[in-house]
Each structure stands twice: as C-alpha cells, then as structure tokens.
C-alpha cells in the first residue's frame, strides 16, 4: 500500500446527517489522527481514536453551535478538552470544521507549530477555548464557564467538556461535579470517555472509579450511559441533553461513553499500551490499511 501522507482539504458541514456519512467522517478523522501522529513521532493514539465517533457527532451533526469563520462568536457553544492529551482528535475536527487549514495537521508537535501536544491558549489556534493537559483542571474551567453563562450572563449557551476515565481519579473533578450539581448547571454536558484504560493499566485495576453512573447521580447529575461507537446512541444522548437543557431541568448531564481505546486499528484496540505512543511507519501503514 502507498502511504499517502497528505491531508485532503475536505471540510464537513455542521448539519444533521445519515449514520453512513457520520461513520465516514469518523473514519477520516481516525486516518488524520494516524497520519499526524506518525509524522509527529510522539503523542497519544489510543484515546483520540476511541473518541472519534463521539467527536464526529458533536462537531458535525448539528449538535454544537459554532462558526469556524468567527471563532469568538458571542453565542457559540464551547468545547473544553479536559483530557488535553486527546489533542490530535480535537485538532482534526477543528481543521475539518474550517477553523484552520487541514495542511496544518502535518505540523503536530513540531517546533513553532500551533498544534502542540496539548492545547494551549498561547498558541492562538482558533477553536481552542482553554489550555489543558494537567488532568482534572479542564472540567473545573468548564464548570466555571457554565456557571458564568447560566448565573451571570443568563444566556442559552452550552458548555461541552470531555474527560478521560482515568482522569476522573483526580479529586478536583469531583469538586467540579459537586459545584455543577449544586448550582444546577443544566447547560453543562460532561462527556466521559469510559475506555477503562489509562496510562499504565485498566482503570479498575489502578484505582476503580465504579460504579460511575451512581456516583454522578449522587452529585445530582442526569446520567446517560451509551455505547460510544453506536451513532444512534450518541445522537440520542446529545438530543436528550439538549431537551433537558431546554426544559430547564436544573441538572447537569453526564454522558458516559463506553468506548474502546484505539478503536478501528486491530493491534491498538482495547490495549492500554497504546495510550501514549504514536505508530511507526510499518504500524501507520497497517493502521491506514484497516481504516478504509
Ligand atoms: C495532573 C496530571 N497527572 C498526570 C498526568 C499524566 N497523564 C497523562 S494522561 C494520563 C492517564 C489518563 O487516563 P485517561 O484519562 O483514562 O486517558 P486515556 O488513557 O484513556 O487516554 C496520565 C496519568 C497529567 N497529564 N496530569
């Protein structure tokens, strides 16, 4: 197989779509991730590949309100990547949404690039709402944003925030959860990537976070648990969140997405050893031959 290292210029519209189209977008997202990580020669493969289906729906199925040509649009919804090491998937969807040229994906982690290993506000990359990488902090920032929108500005904006599942072993996440429940932040949608893998093992073996739904319920959340690779489930979950927000339910929502780390690439799937490695050339060729 010829290893095509170019990135197509294709942008995707943010409109409701058929499942087949969303599946194609998620597949292309995974290809972009593999290519950029291979070129970077460092970075995280497993998490970004696993959450690609959810991110494709969030950004390209008309769920999130944004204008890539006007990134600071006052009425936009905000996406906070609390698990900053998932940057490759965020950069990919932002590029495909039109925030910056897709060619820039070639520069992941390079000196002087705006696409550093973890998102940074100092890079001034359009679409980045906050710096992240120190686990457990992004969700607190997201809660602050949601609090300001709901209690101070009294607007209809939404804050979406993605955390890992190992990440929520950080105590600060639970302080954020307590605040979100207490202050009735029904404009907050917390997405947990529940791949049950973390840097050096299975989450339940390192330090169990289970039962996860029950914990969030105790913190006064609306809890939705889904298969994070089932597009019908993902769309329904986001729609249910939006309905709750519209009804002023007074409860933040958590969508617990059961996913497989490294989804789509046989030798990476459900293997925590792919948490923080890029593919080498042979592996990248193999991965791309499977992502078709
Ligand atoms: C405060 C803090 N401690 C440790 C790390 C190092 N670290 C980066 S990712 C990670 C594992 C996170 O696990 P999870 O959230 O499940 O992500 P996944 O393995 O699914 O990619 C760790 C310990 C960090 N970035 N920040």
19-290 belongs to CATH 1.10.357.10: no
Gap from CA of 231 to ligand 1 centroid (Å)? 26
Q: How large a percentage of the chain has pLDDT more than 90? A: 98
The mean pLDDT value for 71-85 works out to 98
For atom 22 of ligand 1, the residue with the nearest CA is: 199
pLDDT score, position 5: 85
Q: Which pTM value belongs to this model?
A: 0.98
Whole-number Å distance, alpha carbon 76 to ligand 1 midpoint, is: 28
Which neighbouring-strand residues pair with 222?
Answer: 253
Q: How far is the CA of 166 from the centre of ligand 1 (A)?
A: 6
pLDDT digits 0-9 by tens, 48-65: 999 999 999 999 999 999
Q: Does residue 263 have a pLDDT over 80?
A: yes
Q: What is the pLDDT of residue 60?
A: 98
CA of 246 to the centre of ligand 1 (A): 34
Residues in contact with ligand 1 by the CB-under-6-Å rule are 44, 46-47, 83, 85, 133-136, 164-167, 193, 195, 197-199, 261, 275
Atom of ligand 1 nearest to the CA of 118: 25
Residue 15 sits at φ, ψ, to 5 deg, of: -135, 160
Answer whether residue 3 shows pLDDT above 90: no
Distance CA 251, CA 173 (A): 17
Ligand 1 atom with the smallest distance to the CA of 199 is 11
* pLDDT digit string, tens, across residues 134-175: 999 999 999 999 999 999 999 999 999 999 999 999 999 999
d(CA 248, ligand 1 centre) in Å? 34
Residue 149, pLDDT score: 98
Cα of 55 to ligand 1 centre, how many Å?
19
pLDDT attached to residue 2: 58
The predicted-structure confidence for 201-260, as pLDDT tens digits, reads as follows 999 999 999 999 999 999 999 999 999 999 999 999 999 999 999 999 999 999 999 999
pLDDT at 52: 99
- Closest residue by Cα to atom 21, ligand 1, is 47
pLDDT-based confidence at 196, cuts 50/70/90? very high
Q: Are 87 and 119 in contact (CB under 8 A)?
A: yes
- Report d(CA 268, CA 257) in Å as an integer: 18
Q: Which run of H or E residues covers position 215?
A: helix 212-218
What pLDDT was estimated at residue 244? 97
Average pLDDT over residues 75-90: 98
Give Rg (Cα) of the chain.
18
pLDDT at 1: 53
Tell me the CA end-to-end span of the chain in Å, nearest whole number.
12
Average pLDDT over residues 164-193: 98
Instruction: Express as a percent the part of the chain with pLDDT over 70.
Output: 99
Q: Which atom of ligand 1 is nearest to the CA of 165?
A: 16
Section 120-133 average pLDDT: 97
């Amino acid at each position: 197989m010829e290893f095509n290292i170019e990135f197509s210029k294709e942008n995707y519209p943010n409109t409701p779509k058929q499942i087949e189209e969303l599946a194609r977008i998620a597949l292309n997202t995974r290809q972009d991730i593999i290519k950029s990580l291979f070129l970077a020669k460092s970075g995280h493969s497993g998490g970004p590949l696993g959450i690609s289906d959810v991110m494709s729906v969030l950004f390209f199925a008309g769920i999130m309100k944004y204008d890539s040509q006007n990134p600071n649009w006052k009425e936009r919804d905000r996406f906070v990547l609390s698990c900053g090491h998932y940057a490759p998937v965020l950069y990919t969807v932002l590029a495909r949404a039109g925030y910056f040229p897709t060619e820039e994906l070639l520069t992941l982690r390079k000196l002087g690039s705006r696409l550093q290993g973890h998102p940074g506000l100092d890079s001034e990359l359009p679409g980045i709402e906050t710096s992240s990488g120190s686990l457990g902090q992004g969700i607190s920032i997201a809660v602050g944003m949601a609090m300001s929108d709901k209690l101070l500005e009294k607007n209809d904006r939404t804050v979406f925030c993605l955390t890992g599942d190992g990440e929520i072993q950080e105590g600060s996440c639970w302080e954020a959860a307590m605040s979100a429940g207490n202050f009735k932040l029904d404009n907050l949608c917390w997405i947990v990537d529940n791949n049950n893998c973390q840097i050096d093992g299975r989450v339940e073996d390192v330090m169990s976070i289970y039962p996860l739904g029950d914990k969030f319920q105790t913190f006064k959340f609306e809890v939705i648990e889904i298969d994070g690779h089932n597009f019908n489930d993902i769309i329904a979950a986001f729609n249910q969140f939006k309905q709750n927000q519209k009804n002023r339910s007074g409860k933040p929502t958590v969508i617990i997405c059961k996913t497989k780390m490294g989804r789509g690439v046989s030798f990476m799937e459900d293997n925590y050893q792919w948490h923080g490695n890029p593919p080498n050339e042979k592996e990248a060729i193999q991965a791309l031959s499977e992502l078709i």
